[in-house]
Structure 1
């Protein structure tokens, strides 16, 4: 698969899965805009991409801050990857809860709305949402805070209606609902899902011909042990 000529914006690209996504898109030939809350984190990803022969630039973007989203300047975009999200553990204070909901729910909506004119101008526009199984109805296996479930349900609901409404315009909206996963590990039956496998699903979806609209990836989860 080649992504040569396509411009990709990846949120949360300063570490972990967001960084892996940015590296994968660059390896496919895309020009990547890596965004993160701090310039140092985004620049580190850009350095890794350039060291591997890819093309990338960085920008500071705090999804919990509408002013930060409004300040983002970009002239062209083909793929928006909404992967930035602050995980919220079982114990969290009011400020952490507000920050997570603002970043995951409001941030996704505001950034996507801001990028839509650029995506509408693209010949191959895609929106990728790295949601979470916590955004699936009836899924209770994650130990995340209830507020994280709430934020991800909001993100999932937005992605669902956006997919239906943008389909006639040829804009694909692809959502992934992985369970809690690890960054690295064995990729075999019985093992915990890895970030690399999640990234591979994203790359598969955006690499499909334009008649193929994959709305969502849902994943089986390991059974809870007593």
Structure 2
């Protein structure tokens, strides 16, 4: 088990890609701290992981759009462990619509504050635990919407704004944290689906995204994979959410 004993925190892990990643890390021996806005979804995901083993999982409620919740999640982890080996920033609120008026103001605020401010605060408050690790990684599932010149998604403009903010944060942190041995690994997948054929003509799947994360985190410490960029032939009408 290549991740045996690792301490891994994953946001947005109550369902879909986040839950898949949590299960993947646990199946390889990691102890996973999973969070979600929905406490019941987080608890259910942890229960399934603990049933299957061999790694263990603990569930937490954390709404990244709420700074107090972010600080509370970080404090709870500090009470349970003296170090954190991997932080996966997966959670992100999502909305569709080509026009700014397609969603109400509170949805726009939640999308941008969660992905931008929430991710920034979470990394800030978990840095002491990451610095205490012998092999710290920060993984960001950003989205192709964070790439300059990307226009192929059906996502709302506020989602683009949120993901560009995450991309800017990841870029500067990769530069500034590398001297400490902290790897900042960012993925820019296009709109993808949770399940489907993993063939050349098909849409990217969550399974392939998760495999990229596991590959990067599993590399020796001399290997700093900064980014995963993906080709995209067409937009997905039903993109996966974090």
Fold in common (TM above 0.5): yes
The answer to whether the 8 A contact 2:191-2:235 is kept is no
CA RMSD for the aligned pairs? 1.1
Structure 2 stretches lacking a partner, 5+ long: 237-242
Residue 224 of structure 1, CA deviation: 6.0
The answer to whether the 8 A contact 2:153-2:235 is kept is no
Q: Work out the number of aligned pairs and report it.
A: 225
Question: 2:172 aligned with 1:161, yes or no?
Answer: yes
Q: How does 1:90-169 map to 2 (within 5 A)?
A: 90=97, 91-169=102-180
Q: How does 1:51-62 map to 2 (within 5 A)?
A: 51-53=51-53, 54-62=55-63
User: What does residue 65 of structure 1 align with?
Assistant: 66
CA–CA distance in structure 1, aligned partners of residues 70 and 199 of structure 2: 39
Give SS of 2:77's match. Answer: coil
Q: Deviations over 1:93-148 (max 9, x none)?
A: 10100000011111110000010111001001000000000000001000101110
Question: 2:162 aligned with 1:184, yes or no?
Answer: no
User: What does residue 240 of structure 2 align with?
Assistant: none
User: What does residue 48 of structure 2 align with?
Assistant: 48
Structure 1 stretches lacking a partner, 5+ long: none
Q: Which runs of 4+ in 1 moved over 2 A?
A: none
The answer to whether the 8 A contact 2:174-2:183 is kept is yes
User: What does residue 24 of structure 2 align with?
Assistant: 24
CA–CA distance in structure 2, aligned partners of residues 66 and 153 of structure 1: 20
User: What does residue 89 of structure 2 align with?
Assistant: 82
CA–CA distance in structure 1, aligned partners of residues 234 and 128 of structure 2: 43
Shift of the 119–224 alpha-carbon distance from structure 1 to 2, 3 Å rule, reads closer
